Amino acid sequence: MHTPNDHIYQEAQLAPMTVDEINELTRRARALPPSGDQTHVLVPDGEDPWVIAHEDQLYYCTVDRRKREILVARFSSLPEMAMAELVSVWPGTEGPTPDFVEIWAPELQLIDGNWYIYFALYNARNGEERLYTLQATSPDAQGSYEFKGKLEIPTDRWAIDGSVLPMPDGQLYFIWSGWEGFTNTSQNLYIARMSNPYTIASDRVCISRPEHPWEKQGYPYVNEGPQALVRNGRIFIIYSASGSWTDDYCLGQLTYLGGDALNPASWRKEPQPVFSKTDTIFGPGHASFVQIKGQDYIIYHAARSSQAGWARQIRAKPFTWHEDGSPDFGEPL
């Protein structure tokens, strides 16, 4: 299993530390033993985990150490994840390849029987990060993919962490993290309607921005990594809040109340985080969700220790549900 490189991130003055200072924390943390129980660690050095189940198999979508290739692993159980073979699926030979420096947070999704991968490209020009789509050319998630291009959004702004939200009526929506304007002061969550898995059919609507103190630790303020979690007709968006370089990175929750998904009033934000640090596990965030033999799991990354910068581990935890149908993640393990 690969070891991710240090996070270059966008060219911005992060607070309370600079990018250079965060990278130094990251380097130091990787040289020291991690804190917390290691029983639940799937990958000892990793970030932005995406795991999906299909036909009794699990798939893990990630990037290589240089963040230059999208990789997909297939395995039968979570303990096998760290040793599963990672197959490079992009860049490939189908369609053009744009210029880029890094690939960020790829997600493998199965929509109407076809595999798609959503990801952001960083090209070292601050503010130009955008989202892109691949479509598989065969039923094999580890096979070849056609590059479908950039997801064109009428209000074209910095955008990362894209994911598809399928509604019960079959309508697809795209959710992601982006800037309101052209400067990096806050990352908000946006939603837009799709006409197919690689085409945006409406302008964006903001459904969450950092507003609570637990969403505003570190600067710029951050809402990112939105993921749909659907069960028994209930729809939730679980997202990451606060700076990913801080101990206070955590998960928040939006609940769909019904009606027009493009109406911000259709979404209720929980006033407190739904998954946050403990005395030994810091910065839990950027999660995906998978059900294995009837048991739901949250797959997330957390810092190796306090003040670890971007040195992170991928962890797994089974979770349950509250009586009102909302997820009960409990505390990180």
Q: Which residues are catalytic?
A: 48, 224
CA distance 110 to 59: 11
Q: Which of 156, 145, 191, 141 is nearest to 171 (CA)?
A: 191
- Strands 221-231 and 186-196 come out as parallel
Determine the distance from the C-alpha atom of residue 16 to the mean position of all C-alpha atoms in its chain, rounded to a whole number.
23
* Residue pair 255/264 in contact by the 8 Å Cβ criterion: no
Instruction: Write the CB contacts of 36 (distance below 8 Å, at least 6 apart in sequence).
Output: 278, 280, 281, 302, 305, 332
> In Å, what is the CA distance from 300 to each residue of 147, 148, 197, 313?
28, 28, 25, 8
Coil, strand or helix: which one is 93? coil
Largest pairwise CA distance in the chain: 51
Examine residue 318 and say whether the peptide bond preceding it is cis (omega within 30 degrees of 0): no
- CB atoms closer than 10 angstroms to residue 67: 22
The secondary structure element, H or E, covering residue 52 is strand 50-54
Hey, what's the torsion of the CAs at 80, 240, 136, 124, to 10 degrees?
A: -110
CA distance 299 to 279: 20
Determine the distance from the C-alpha atom of residue 128 to the mean position of all C-alpha atoms in its chain, rounded to a whole number.
19
Burial class (CB in 10 A: 0-12, 13-18, 19+), 223: buried
Return the structure tokens found at 308: 């670890």
* Residue pair 101/123 in contact by the 8 Å Cβ criterion: yes
